[in-house]
Amino acid sequence: MTAITNHLPTAELQALDAAHHMHPFTANGELAEKGARVITRASGVTLTDSEGHEILDAMAGLWCVNIGYGRDELADVAARQMRELPYYNTFFQTTHAPAIALAAKIAELAPEGLNHVFFAGSGSEANDTNIRMVRHYWALKDKPSKSIIISRKNAYHGSSVGSGSLGGMSAMHEQGGMPIPDIHHINQPNWWAEAGDMSPEDFGLARAQELEQAILELGEDRVAAFIAEPVQGAGGVIVPPTTYWPEIQRICDKYEILLIADEVICGFGRTGNWFGSQTMGIRPDIMTIAKGLSSGYAPIGGSIVSDEVAAVIGSGEFNHGYTYSGHPVASAVALENLRILEEENIVGHVRDVAAPYLKEKWEALTDHPLVGEAKIVGMMGSIALTPNKAARAAFASDAGTVGYICRERCFANNLVMRHVGDRMIISPPLVITPDEIDTLIERARKSLDECYEILKEKDMLQSA
């Protein structure tokens, strides 16, 4: 058999892919007929595919390539670490410099009082850790009945059985026996789709108060923690009204339930601060991290844990861990990524340059006939497509039909912009320049125009 490399014709790679490779979150039968797009290389904010297209990646891969593609420093660090110590575990009273250095660096960057890191291989694994850690925490404090974790509908916390149960994606819960017991979901703060006549402020407050109602209904003695993304990502970049998070914090404080901020997307600069919790003004007990931690160059995740929780958990043995917890190569790569983020002031670039520039252009998209609201925090944004802005109407077609058409136009115009239902979302590399933002917006507008023409032609501009 000849080696399978980028030198093979695209059709051949696609056929082999279809024959052997099961894609995540994909109807593989359908994809086999169409053929997957083969990505061959990437640099900065630009992907190249096997047909030579140069595509602006406005999703930073899966929200993760914060420093952009093609940074040789990370490759060099990985090679060096692999030669020196490719692997050793941290289970049996051993440790190594990469894990030590990364944990210390994360503690330095994290908000006050969050000084301990439990490493995992991904965000899903980290949230599985969190489920066990918060329940074990309460058991150690002689309150073993406090085992319910409250989360939100349309949240995304990962795809393992535990983290997928925490998440509030109904399409995921329909498959494979989820959610596990003692996970409770309240409504999300999605003003555009769910607020009816309420103002954003009243709606934000009402949705936050669902947490208090849930605690009272379930019983304070049953609730261990509340978990949420500072800004929902995979759910469609749902930016909560300003009233939402202060009320959530008040309720967590009042009933002494642990607050877990899932920072897998928001962490490491995406919202214009190191962590989304800082942007939203909250004080979590645990933060989930992954994605931007290594800019996706190596798989690594973890939980940043408060002094108080770490002290309780550390009072005995926590029967939990992963073979790759604190993997030396992934840790070294993540540490180098954090060095670049810090020394090149990339968080400052987001806050002072890229985010203000993108915000202005992004919000101006509401002048397009298809775009209802445009929301953006730092470098994560969404637009709601609608046939009737004033009514905040959904399309008559199944949710996602129009979004998919728009996404296909984006791909045709060399732009990766995802759709969640009929919301279009972006989360570009943090290093994106104003010129590249202009290109992003130009391609987005062209795609929206083409989508609009298709909808007109097919008579699909009907409200549900």
Site residues, ligand PLP (CB under 6 A): 122-124, 127, 156-158, 229, 233-234, 262, 264-265, 290-291, 301
Supply the minimum distance, in Å, between the C-beta of residue 48 and ligand PLP: 24
CB closer to ligand PLP out of 301 and 428? 301
Contacts 24+ apart (CB under 8 A), 417-423: 417/58, 417/59, 417/444, 417/447, 418/59, 420/234, 420/235, 420/236, 420/237, 420/382, 421/236, 422/384, 422/385, 422/386, 422/394, 422/395, 423/236, 423/237, 423/382, 423/383, 423/384, 423/385
Give the span between the Cα atoms of 233 and 270, in whole angstroms. Answer: 11
Supply the minimum distance, in Å, between the C-beta of residue 167 and ligand PLP: 8
Supply the minimum distance, in Å, between the C-beta of residue 166 and ligand PLP: 9
CB closer to ligand PLP out of 322 and 362? 322
Beta-carbon contacts of residue 41 (< 8 Å; ≥ 6 apart): 6, 47, 48
CB closer to ligand PLP out of 158 and 421? 158
Backbone phi, psi, residue 140, to 5°? -65, -25
CB closer to ligand PLP out of 44 and 158? 158
Supply the minimum distance, in Å, between the C-beta of residue 448 and ligand PLP: 25
Supply the minimum distance, in Å, between the C-beta of residue 379 and ligand PLP: 14
Given a contact cutoff of 8 angstroms between Cβ atoms, the answer to whether 291 and 314 are in contact is no
Structure tokens at 175: 């498959």
Supply the minimum distance, in Å, between the C-beta of residue 254 and ligand PLP: 26
CB closer to ligand PLP out of 127 and 325? 127
Give the span between the Cα atoms of 203 and 157, in whole angstroms. Answer: 24
Residue nearest to ligand PLP (CB): 123
CB closer to ligand PLP out of 312 and 379? 379
